[in-house]
A and B are shown apart, each in its own frame.
Chain A
Amino acid sequence: MIVRKSNIPESIRSKISQDANVYDPSLRRLEMVQVLAQNPKSDLTELSENECVDFALVRAFHDSKVIKLDAVILFFDYLKENRVSLNRKRTEEYLKGLIGQVNGQIQQGAYYGAPGTIEPEKKSIADRLMFWRQ
């Protein structure tokens, strides 16, 4: 008599072997937030518009091996690490996602971090008037 290898279909076996916690919406949201700062030292820094273009141009030349600019690329990396973001926008965005607060509302199920530590962005009356004029 032929004995089967398993009584459970292979499709079910593979699903059972998966970790249940990967479906946790809280963890998935954290993973998405993590994309904002995969390398916090360089991702949460601040670049001017000109710097963005210049850095991209130099890096493109370097990556396509037109000009070898290892030292310049290294300089850019160190510069991004050392420069403190002045308006902290990216850091604020990251922390909002991490804590689970969007527009002043605490999302249900956000049990990590300390809710209410990040204030929502307040716009001045002049900003609001400018918005309606556009």
Chain B
Amino acid sequence: MARRNNMPFSPMSWHLVFTLIKLIEASGESLHKRMNLISEIIGDLVAKKNGMKKEKETPLALELEDRLDVLMADFLLLRENYQPTIENQEFIYGKQGDFETSYDCILNEIKSIIEEFPILDQDQVKEIMLSGEAHSKMNGGPL
């Protein structure tokens, strides 16, 4: 996909949107799988932030950097404390709930960042070819 003039930081856009859709499709799946998808999304955001900073170190880019630092610190906490036991042992289902809540908080922040900063726009998302169920749904087909 060619770079847009008004969105110069778009090479990872396809990957970002695709991962977001994959995350929706994996909403009921294991914590580990969703954690890896969130990791991909954060990686894409970091790549976009680096692209923005390379172009010009604007206050917007610096603010994005600060927010991504907090986001990455939160995600690191989850990565370090994830144990496979919490997904297959009934005595620890409470901790699974804590992870779900943390995912909610992290995803809220990710969506806010995407909304507040020039990372994606609606036209760009429409251009991106989606596979599987998401593509079918966007084209009005059956799921």
Interface segment, B1-9, B87-95, B118-126, B131-139?
A: B87-95
Range, interface on chain A: 20 to 34
Scoring B74, B81, B95, B98 by chain A CB atoms within 10 A of each residue's CB, the highest score goes to B98
Give every chain B residue within 8 A of A17 (Cβ-Cβ): 77, 81
A68 at the interface (CB under 8 A from B): no
Q: Identify whether the interface residues of B are mostly helix, strand, loop, or mixed.
A: helix
Q: Which residue of A lies closest to B69 (CB)?
A: A3
Q: For A4, give the chain B residue with the smallest CB separation.
A: B70
Bound complex: CA A15 to CA B85 (Å): 15
Indicate with 1 or 0, residue by residue over B73-103, a CB within 8 angstroms of chain A CB atoms.
1100110010101100101101100110110
A8-B105 CB under 8 A given contacts A3-B70, A15-B98, A24-B89: yes
Please list the residues of chain A having a beta carbon within 8 angstroms of any beta carbon in chain B: 1, 3-9, 12-13, 15-21, 23-25
Q: List 22 A-B contacts (CB under 8 A).
A: A3-B66, A3-B67, A3-B70, A6-B70, A6-B73, A7-B108, A8-B101, A9-B101, A12-B105, A13-B77, A15-B95, A15-B98, A16-B77, A16-B99, A16-B102, A19-B83, A20-B92, A20-B95, A21-B83, A21-B85, A24-B91, A25-B91
